[in-house]
């Protein structure tokens, strides 16, 4: 439903840019506390190719893996997502 509210040209442009931009060097420059939270059942952005690699690239980052979590864990697993985020923010 939300996708229908977005400008289709802008959405396609954002998807193209995101899909072709290499952030790996930038991730290594992050020096602030960082939480990587990802579902292990994400069929759109698989954990192994994104969450695990992001965590490995950001020195000292925290990792929270949501078991059975698909893409959109902030909605599908809202309680776990929010609890992990709040615990991280309390550090």
pLDDT tens over the chain, length 91 residues: 566 777 889 888 988 888 889 999 999 999 999 999 999 999 999 999 999 999 999 999 999 999 999 999 999 999 999 999 999 999 9
DSSP state of 42: -
What Å distances lie between residue 44 and 30, 67, 89, 91, CA to CA? 25, 16, 27, 30
Q: What is the pLDDT of residue 3?
A: 60
Question: Per DSSP, what are the bridge partners of residue 65?
Answer: 38
Instruction: Pull the structure tokens for residue 58.
Output: 């950001």
The CATH code belonging to domain 27-89 is 3.40.50.11320
Neighbours of 69 (CB within 10 A): 22
Listed by start position, the domains of the chain span 27-89
Q: What is the pLDDT of residue 6?
A: 78
pTM of the model: 0.82
> What is the Cα–Cα distance from 53 to 61, expressed in whole angstroms?
11
């Amino acid at each position: 439903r939300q996708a229908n509210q977005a400008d289709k040209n802008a959405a396609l442009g954002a998807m193209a840019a995101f899909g072709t931009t290499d952030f790996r060097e930038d991730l290594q420059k992050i020096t602030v506390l960082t939480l990587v939270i990802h579902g292990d059942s994400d069929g759109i952005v698989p954990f192994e190719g994104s969450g695990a690699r992001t965590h490995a690239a950001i020195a000292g980052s925290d990792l929270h893996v949501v078991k059975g979590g698909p893409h959109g864990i902030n909605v599908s697993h809202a309680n776990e997502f929010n609890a992990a985020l709040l615990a991280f923010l309390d550090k």
